[in-house]
Structure 1
Amino acid sequence: MKLKLGILDQSPTIKGGTSLQALKNSIDLAVFADQAGFQSVIYSEHHGVEAYGSSSPEILAAVVLSKTQRIKVGTGGIMMKNYSAYKIAEWTKMLGSLYPERFILGLGKAPGGLKDAVSALNNHRSVILASQETKLEEIIQYIKEEKGIYEGLMAQPTNLTHLPEILWLGSGVQSALEAAKHGVGYSYADFMSNELAAESTETYLNEFDRTQYSPVPSLQVAVAVSVAENLKLAEENAYGMAYQFLQARHIQAPEALLPIETIRQRISGSEDEDEFFKILDHIITDTPGNISYRLQEKADAYNTDELLILCNMYHEKDRMDTYKSIILGH
């Protein structure tokens, strides 16, 4: 089956670079993706983290929608515990009405930052650990203009011609069940794991309720990829991404992308060396001639035809070359 390929863009920064340059790189990548034939580009949300330049994926999505013609653009995802369901529904409906059938609302349950960032986002109050699934239900009610908590309260603009696509982000069976129950799309973060975890995606497909928000399931799998002219270079280009994943797993704020020499010095002989190379092995690294096969292999393993490609590299040209090799070989 022909794959539907999208881009998961974290607007990565490099050591010594700026967040502004990272955002400009994201816009340039989206314009390329729109013209080259990618299906979608999705922006992540991070707060108080040096590694990523975008803290507001909904704003970046709005800018990119205005600069592109056909590609779907979305959030991947809005960190729900920091915002009200009502406000999320309002700007979702606005983007959905201005760009019908092109905006995707991706929602996540993670905090989007470490303790201080989450505290600041919640006006220095303790985060209420209410069910994020309940918040999803509220968002759907506002979008569909159904009776909700506040009877008669509308979320403007009203009377959308097309309901915006909704994606529920996750990496476990519980998130898959929630997405299936409410009839929304499910985006599984393969890059966050060191092994294939098809149980989650199988659960989503088997339990999907076609009578809810959407009649058709939408399963996306987000994978980390590096493509170069030879395998050694493809692996080396992925070092920075793998090191950021390592830091995140240790509940550290990931640094901006580092040059490979710095990472080698830090990793060699350290207690994290084995874990680092396990993470690196899970990243799909290959050459232009073989990458199409590798991506199809991954899609088949998850029984989906939709992949989101994540690629963070120290040199922006290497990142762009990866995306070019993927779409040209597709």
Structure 2
Amino acid sequence: MTDNKRLNDIKYSVLDLAPILEGGTAADAFKNTLDLAQHAEKWGYNRYWLAEHHNMPGIASSATSVVIGHVAAGTSSIRVGSGGIMLPNHAPLVIAEQFGTLESLFPGRIDLGLGRAPGTDQVTAYALRRERRSDGQDFPEQLDELRAYFNPELDSQYRSVKAVPGEGLNIPIWLLGSSGYSAQLAGQLGLPFSFASHFSPENTLGALKLYRRSFQPSEVLQEPYAMVGVNVIAAETDEEAEFLATSMQQQFLNLFRNNPSPLLPPVKNLENQLSEYEKMLLGSRIGSSIVGSPETIKIKLQQFLDETQADEMIVNAQIFDHKARLKSFEIVSDIFKG
């Protein structure tokens, strides 16, 4: 690990929450997702990840593996995967079969990123998990079971149950986290790790340090590989980017207020409508967001890289206007290419 990594030294990727816009539908969201993925492939992005959320009026990717198949079918070379699948919501065998199917359809292009949070509220978590009674505490055991379906040599107790398709396929498994738990587990297992700095910035450096310190070489990786999620909203000017960013800010505010909503249009003077407590909450959740003109973005991304020494960055951009969202990702790709 060196201290002089430059942006054009590392890979860059897309995290898409498949935003449902106010006045729009999930069908519109999926059209925009595929369009963004096709542009991202052209602009040199390395991977395109979709996230599992439930009971969220503004996020269309609840059936994550289905949307991954849609994106992979409409692209040709970009890696497509989950950022992530919330494993405690599912039987590991089902996920092995789903991703075995995806890898069989799109060989060498599928990633399986795993989280242990429910990706929703407690009532919805119960609706998802009522037969399993899982609260995420058995995540290491679930992970062992899942990995054994792909490679039975890892754990013989699952050999009588075969994931078809799935067994024998080499699908990269990532652990995702917003705290130290998955960071340490990923390190101990020698797996790649992705940290959710886009909504948990205060834990970023501690989790990365823990991952690297815990890392044990494995058949998967000889050295740690850390990807960091970051909100980046780019436009021609700082003022325009800050205006566009108010859609993301409103989305988080509505979560704080227990009133999740579709992605709302940007507004002027949002800060004047917030309490001091809400400003503090926003700062704690999305305080590391990088918003501005190309010049501002380049400086702040490099600073973020200097701090994290990330091997890859995965960029999220909750922007209401689809053309402005495309433009933001194009600006970011130009910056990474140098």
Q: So what's the TM-score if we normalise by structure 2? A: 0.89
Question: What is the correspondence of 1:1-330 to structure 2 with a 5 Å cutoff?
Answer: 1=6, 2-123=9-130, 126-146=133-153, 147-157=155-165, 160=168, 163-195=170-202, 197-248=204-255, 250=256, 252=258, 254-261=260-267, 264=270, 267-269=273-275, 271-276=277-282, 281-330=287-336
Q: Offset at 1:252? A: 2.9
Q: Secondary structure at the match of 2:143?
A: helix
Q: Secondary structure at the match of 1:95?
A: helix
**Which stretch has the larger CA shift, 177-186 or 110-119?**
110-119
Check conservation: 1:138, 1:148, Cα contact below 8 A: no
Q: Offset at 1:150? A: 3.3
Structure 1 residues 289 and 138: CA distance shift in structure 2, 3 A: same
Deviation per residue, 1:140-162 (Å, 9 max, x gap): 111112244334322122564x6
Check conservation: 1:169, 1:186, Cα contact below 8 A: yes
Structure 1 residues 154 and 277: CA distance shift in structure 2, 3 A: closer
Q: Offset at 1:48? A: 1.1
Structure 1 residues 277 and 215: CA distance shift in structure 2, 3 A: closer
Q: Offset at 1:241? A: 0.9
Structure 1, unpaired ranges of 5+ = none
Read off the aligned partner of 1:283 and give its amino acid letter.
S
Check conservation: 1:194, 1:279, Cα contact below 8 A: yes
Q: Offset at 1:214? A: 3.5
Q: Percent identity?
A: 29
Structure 2, unpaired ranges of 5+ = 1-5
Check conservation: 2:233, 2:317, Cα contact below 8 A: yes
CA distance in 2, matches of 1:52, 1:327: 24
Read off the aligned partner of 1:272 and give its amino acid letter.
E
CA distance in 2, matches of 1:196, 1:233: 29
Q: Secondary structure at the match of 1:77?
A: strand
CA distance in 2, matches of 1:273, 1:300: 27
CA distance in 1, matches of 2:327, 2:283: 23
Q: What is the alpha-carbon root mean square deviation over aligned residues?
A: 2.4
Check conservation: 2:18, 2:30, Cα contact below 8 A: yes
CA distance in 1, matches of 2:297, 2:209: 25
Q: So what's the TM-score if we normalise by structure 1? A: 0.91
CA distance in 1, matches of 2:185, 2:132: 27
CA distance in 2, matches of 1:270, 1:93: 48
> Where has structure 1 moved over 6 Å in runs of 4 or more?
none
Structure 1 residues 198 and 104: CA distance shift in structure 2, 3 A: same
Q: Secondary structure at the match of 2:267?
A: helix
Q: Offset at 1:297? A: 2.1
Q: Offset at 1:51? A: 1.3
Read off the aligned partner of 1:189 and give its amino acid letter.
A
Q: Offset at 1:240? A: 1.5
